[in-house]
Amino acid sequence: MQTDEQLKEIVRQKYSEIALQDKETNMSSCCGSGCCSTEVYNIMSDDYSTLEGYNPDADLGLGCGLPTEFAKIKKGDTVIDLGSGAGNDCFVARAETGETGKVIGIDFTPAMIDKARTNAEKRGFNNVEFRQGDIEKMPVTANVADVIVSNCVLNLVPNKDGVFREIFRVLKPGGHFSISDVVLLGELPEALQKDAEMYAGCVAGAIQKKEYLELIVKNGFKNIAVQKEKAILIPDDILKNYLDEPALNDFKSGKTGIFSITVYAEKPAACCEPGSGCC
């Protein structure tokens, strides 16, 4: 069993490789993980191309939803994108927040930060910046963000509770988040749970939907809503790398489901830390 730091290093190395791949390669694998299928398909990613601010060269095809579409971003807002990659969601958020707002992307992979900064500089975006850092310890002061978005990233983080705690700290009172992520219904087969490659591919790092929503409640958020939910189907030629025929049939019987959800929640308008009794 890998430690949290070992899992983080697996993700860092894998996403450094992904930063140098083209979108088609990334979209034909589990979040670009390299667990390649001979089928032509898109496992998770949604179509951004109709959204204002979309830039194809910033879209690596790694997402599992469209959180910026649901994020209720207003002109002048400060928006933070967790796991910002090549900058796709940041640029869509900038189209919403306008020149009077500010967008901060946080990613802990240096190659992704370099790629995102290049994309921003090409477009002359002086109100979009990218900071290298761990989203469990964001390089951002408290109470600064009106909106936080994230797309298929928290499932890669071992300490999800710590990330939600940080989101609460960084949001302004009355601020909110819209996060797309991968969750489970039922237990993943042991082979998938233990495989580091599938962890980096967004699947083995996912937790139960109920547990995910409970972490949001635990960390003090209110008005929680699942804005969108869709099933994720992993093709047989990937699953056969991990499961024998009986296990594959059992997995496909419907006892276990892998879903993409987009979740919205708010930090109370006048509040202090969770558990203090003043909220």
Task: Indicate the domain borders of the chain.
Answer: 4-266
More confident of the two residues 122 and 15: 122
Rounded mean pLDDT, 75-88: 94
pLDDT at 50: 73
H helix intervals, the chain = 4-18, 23-27, 67-70, 88-97, 110-123, 160-170, 190-194, 196-200, 209-218, 236-239, 245-250
Nearest to 164 by CA among 265, 36, 68, 34: 265
Of 85-94, 159-168, 196-205, 234-243, least confident by mean pLDDT is: 196-205
- Residue 3 pLDDT class (50, 70, 90 cuts): low
pLDDT at 226: 97
> 3-class secondary structure for 42-104?
CCCCCCCCCCCCCCHHHCCCCCCCCHHHHCCCCCCCEEEEECCCCCHHHHHHHHHHCCCCEEE
Angle at 66 between CA 127 and CA 234, to 5 degrees: 135
- Per-residue pLDDT at 174: 97
CB 97 within 8 A of CB 76: yes
Confidence of residue 194 (pLDDT cuts 50, 70, 90): low
The single-letter code of the amino acid at 7 is L
Is the CB of residue 122 less than 8 Å from the CB of residue 99? no
pLDDT in tens, 198-241: 544 556 578 899 999 999 999 999 999 999 998 877 777 777 88
Q: What is the pLDDT of residue 155?
A: 84
How far apart CA 223 and CA 176 sit, in angstroms, is: 10
Measure the CA–CA gap between 96 and 255, rounded to whole angstroms: 40
Average confidence (pLDDT) over 7-33: 53
pTM above 0.85, yes or no: no
Query: For residue 42, with 0-12 CB atoms within 10 Å meaning exposed, 13-18 middle and 19 or more buried, which class applies?
Result: exposed
Segment 137-153 mean pLDDT: 96
Residue 38: band (very low, low, confident or very high) from pLDDT cuts 50, 70, 90 = very low
Closest CA to 182 of 218, 211, 161: 211
User: Is the model's pLDDT at 263 over the cut of 70?
Assistant: yes
pLDDT (0 to 100) of residue 8: 60
- pLDDT above 90 for 158: no
* Per-residue confidence (pLDDT) for residue 7, from 0 to 100: 60
Chain centroid to Cα 110, Å, comes to 17
Q: If one looks up domain 4-266 in CATH, what number appears? A: 3.40.50.150
Kindly report which listed range (5-14, 131-140, 178-187, 211-220) carries the lowest average pLDDT score.
5-14
